Structure 1
Amino acid sequence: MTTTVLSTRALNRATLARQLLVERAGLTALDAVHHLAGLQAQAPFPPYYALWSRLVDFDPAELAGALLERRVVRLALMRDTVHLVTAADAGYLRPLLQPLMDRGLRAADLTGLDLPAVAATARELLAARPHSAKELGAALAARWPEHAPAALVRAARGVLPLVQLPPRAVWGRSGQTVYQTARDWLGQDDHPAPDLAELVRRYLAAYGPATVADLRTWCGLTRLGQVADGMELLELTDEQGRRLLDLPEAPRPEPDLPVPVRFLPEFDNVLLSYADRTRIMSDPMRARFAAVPNGVFPATFLVDGFLRGAWRITRQGKAAAPAATLTITPWASVSTKDSRALVAEGERLLEFAAPQATTRRVVMAETG
């Protein structure tokens, strides 16, 4: 039997198509969050930039409104990191990922801590009212003084689905981390029988084609190969001979498909959700991407579909006359044509990020 071999560029184009990065999609913010199986969101505002790069005429007020209306929420999920997901997916994904949370709790310094008792106490506290992280830690430490408040909050977040409430992560506003259980905030129970096969399908729809190791890297769960083996999936091969799984009907564009430059936010899932990231970054780019302090991955940009550098926005001046500068720093040489495309896209990004700025400037830094 002949097996189709996908080149790195073919994998790249398939990934960009699934990630809505070939052309901006005419989806609602809610539908895009669902399609992408959530957006990594341990910082408050990267999801807004992620959707700006993926959707036609994205309005940040749409996502902010969904947060305030409890149609999307932020809580610890894949890789035990905070993700923004739909309310329905919060109830579906968290039960599936509880083994990952349990594994993290076993690795933490929680010796002698009665986790069921922590869960019961935290649930009672949060049912009475939402608590900030500091308040929750202090309340739990009153019962377990031998443990640090931060460790107790970590334990509570591991045993319970704790959502971070707005106004944190509402565009244009600020707010501290305030917790409530997903059940109390959303008024819904967890999905009674979440399906691991559906998790595999959701991943492949947004990230495929992919190996089982890629799937495991994305979600943090193990033994997913057994699940995939029981599904009717297309089997492909990459250039290294690794088995790739995919949905038969999913898009796999031609490898020479032209793609635009794209700006990605910090922690974008498309860069973090594979065991082998060569489909979107070379080994030198991966080394540069990973060489960041405190695990804070930078905002990045793609040229011809591949990682080529970082960007950041700085703001200066008084509130009455603010100025904003977007600095684009290539990590490798960029052609004159691509530089012009980056500046033009960067100007649009600045209009989105700093609409009130009286002065906006895009700076193309030297290759660093």
Structure 2
Amino acid sequence: MTAARVLGARALGRALLARQHLLARGTVTPAAMIHHLGGLQAQAVPQPPHLGLLSRLEGFAPEGLDELIERRAVVRTALQRGTIHLVTADDCLTLRPLLQPVFDQGLRAAYGKRLVGVDLAALGAEARALLEERPRTFQDLGALLAVTRPGRDPAALAQAARCLLPLVQVPPRGLWGRSGPAAHTTAESWLGRPLDGEPSLEGLALRYLAAFGPATVADLQKWCGLSRLTAVLKRLAPDLVTFRDEHDRLLYDLPDAPRPDPAVPAPVRLLAPFDNLLLSHADRTRVLPEEYRPRVMTPNGIVLGTLLVDGLVAGSWQLTEDRSGGSAVLVRPFAALGRGERREALAEAERVLAFAGRGGEVRFEEAG
């Protein structure tokens, strides 16, 4: 048997950047990019999805995403890892039933003790009726559910509904320059279609490899939040190619997916806060040096916007707005930038300012 080819961290990083359209920006539609990526992390409002597309698409403007949200072509919904993602309508209906075990586990772990004795089927049915009557915040929903369940924690009741039902956040939540409370309704009601009745774990794995491979089973599980997916990749193995990483871990990949030469130059990029590039592998070191991880992933769960230099995280950045409505991009390199790298970082930051459309300045903090 021929030994599997070894892919080093740099080769894995270049493959990931190519698939994420961070080596060369794409010219596809925003909806096509969102589908290819399997969604964009959307925990924070509203910057991450818009900025995630800006870093990956040529000619992208805020209204290019806002229009999709308003006409229900894309939705904000809890999916991978139980966190809010912006996905296409079709992906919402397909991915949500596949990821139901993530929500079942989250409900048991976080709220199980507070829901002992609660009829969850009845709770789900009542919550569905309330949310399909009109979109509601979790605070309002919990208060209404507690009326028929006196003595129960309203927050736990609302979170149970979140886990039991496929919910979407309705606009203006998530629009650029506008927002609103996180009001929810069911995906079926909002999209006018049922959930996919035959979703495929194999399809989920192939989608992941297309956007994030080559990858281990642990990487796939980290991205989606599911466990015990070894059998899924083994079933797919005859149609895949395999490699080993420098730690002798087995990597799976699509035969025709891009795997650029590790020497291919990687341009400077500004990644959005909470970007899935940093959240979708068990071993993040292909793009995130371990020594920098605590500087971009805070103890309270915030993932900062990051500066990529030569394909690796080399700093953080932030888009801010002052009281007069002006903007600034603050870039914080972790080590001194070369002249060319600083020039590229400046151009990327100016691109963000132009996108924000409010004027402003770029400021570099001293490296360190």
In 2, Cα distance between equivalents of 1:59 and 1:12: 28
- 1:263 paired residue among 262, 265, 270: 270
AA aligned to 2:216 is: T
Letter in 2 for 1:256: A
For 1:108 and 1:79, locate their aligned partners in 2 and report how far apart those are by CA, in whole Å.
14
Q: Does 1:120 align with 2:121?
A: no
Alignment partner for residue 182 of structure 1, among 183, 187, 197?
187
1:316 positional shift: 2.2
Return the alpha-carbon distance in structure 2 between the equivalents of residues 41 and 191 of structure 1. 23
1:287-319 per-position Cα deviation (integer Å, ceiling 9, x unaligned) = 3223x142111111100110011111222243x
Q: Distance in 1 between matches of 2:196 and 2:134?
A: 24
CA distance in 2, matches of 1:314, 1:172: 13
Aligned residue-pair number: 361
The answer to whether the aligner puts 1:215 opposite 2:220 as a matched pair is yes
In structure 1, what is the equivalent of residue 244 of structure 2? 237
**Structure 1 residue identity aligned to 2:186:** T
Task: Give the superposed CA RMSD.
Answer: 1.1
Superposition TM-score, scaled by structure 1 size: 0.96
Q: Distance in 2 between matches of 1:4 and 1:65?
A: 45
2:5 aligns to what?
4
Aligned to 1:53: 55
Is residue 2:305 matched to residue 1:304?
Answer: no
Name the SS for the 2:173 alignment partner.
coil
Q: Is the aligned partner of 1:16 residue 2:17?
A: yes
* Identity percentage of aligned residues: 50
Deviation (angstroms), 1:343: 1.1
Cα distance between partner residues in 2 of 1:53 and 1:193: 34
Q: Does structure 1 residue 333 correspond to structure 2 residue 336? A: yes
Instruction: Give 1:144 shift.
Output: 2.0
CA distance in 2, matches of 1:88, 1:3: 36
Question: 2-side partners of 1:348 and 1:128: how far apart?
Answer: 42
- The aligned counterpart of 1:193 is 198
Instruction: Specify the alignment match of 2:290 in structure 1.
Output: 283
Separation (CA, whole Å) in 2 of partners of 1:43 and 1:242: 34
Between the aligned partners of 1:249 and 1:145, the Cα distance in structure 2 is: 58
What is the CA distance between 1:198 and its match in structure 2? 0.4
Q: Which runs of 4+ in 1 moved over 6 A?
A: none
**TM-score, reference length from structure 2:** 0.96
Unpaired runs of at least 5, structure 2: none
Structure 1: where are the runs of 5+ without partners? none
Match runs of 1:57-136 below 5 Å: 57-109=59-111, 110-136=115-141
Aligned to 1:246: 253
Q: Deviations over 1:82-141 (max 9, x none)?
A: 101000001100000001111111112232222111101101112222212221111111
Report the alpha carbon displacement of residue 11 of structure 1 after superposing the two structures with TM: 0.3
